Amino acid sequence: MSSLPNSLKNISLFLERLPGIGEKTANRLAFFLLNLPEEDLKEFANNVSDLKSKTKLCKNCFNFTEKEICEICEDGERNHSIICVVETVLDLLSFEQGRIYNGVYHVLHGKIDPLNRVGPDDLKIRNLESRIQNSESKIKEIILATNPDMEGEATAVYIKNKLTEIKKLGNLEIKISRLAYGLPMGANLEYADYMTLKKAIEGRNKF
């Protein structure tokens, strides 16, 4: 890389800092950008420049948006009585890409992780509590869709306990549910781990 011009080298070194990008991939991407038409490269540069200044957090759900309220929260055709609580915006996008859910969301922007010094106050949990308390009983269900790892489970349990307190204090009829986890389609029982089988048994449905 030492033989590359500094401008190209700096781009390659920056790209190498991105997740999943190694030195060779970074070099290829840098050369790809160099070979783009100047108009396309300027458009890309402008979009990167605007990324921080124009991107905000939705005041309702903390999804990314360029307005005060995101498109999902503004959509009158969605079921606003159901809130799906997710760890990140990427998790939200997974639901949206599959078009399998028509409610709204609440993005925590992380999960409780004591080893990395992330506690409940570092997440958008209090905002969720306020959102429910100010809903005037319009919310009927909270789906806890944190990831099925130790930190995700701990986060879900913490939120469930907090919401249970709010339900009792406000005499609210809100269902608290958790995503079902178990065997994926096409899986073989022989290769399933203990916890996956345990969740599959616990989440079994009438057939």
Tokens of 76: 């009158």
Choose between 76 and 196: higher pLDDT.
76
The pLDDT of residue 2 is 58
**Mean pLDDT of the residues in the chain:** 91
- Dihedral angle at the C-alpha atoms of 54, 60, 61, 65, nearest 10 degrees? -20
Domains in the chain: boundaries: 6-54, 64-202
Cβ proximity of 85 and 145 under 8 Å? yes
Number of helical H runs and strand E runs in the chain: 8, 6
Cβ proximity of 11 and 25 under 8 Å? no
Query: How far apart, in whole angstroms, are the C-alpha atoms of residue 199 and residue 207?
Result: 17
Write the class of the CATH domain 64-202: alpha beta
Query: How far apart, in whole angstroms, are the C-alpha atoms of residue 153 and residue 122?
Result: 17
Cβ proximity of 152 and 111 under 8 Å? yes
- Percent of the chain exceeding pLDDT 90 equals 74
Q: Which residue matches tokens 């124009």?
A: 54
- Show Cβ contacts of residue 125 under 8 Å, excluding neighbours closer than 6 positions: 108, 158, 159, 162
Split at pLDDT 50, 70, 90, the class of 76 is very high
Which residues, listed in sequence order, are joined to residue 85 by a DSSP beta bridge? 106, 144
**Domain 6-54 architecture:** Orthogonal Bundle (1.10)
Q: Which residue matches tokens 């540069």?
A: 45
Per-residue pLDDT of 99-147, as tens digits, reads: 889 999 999 999 999 999 999 999 999 999 999 998 876 899 999 999 9
Choose between 193 and 23: higher pLDDT.
23
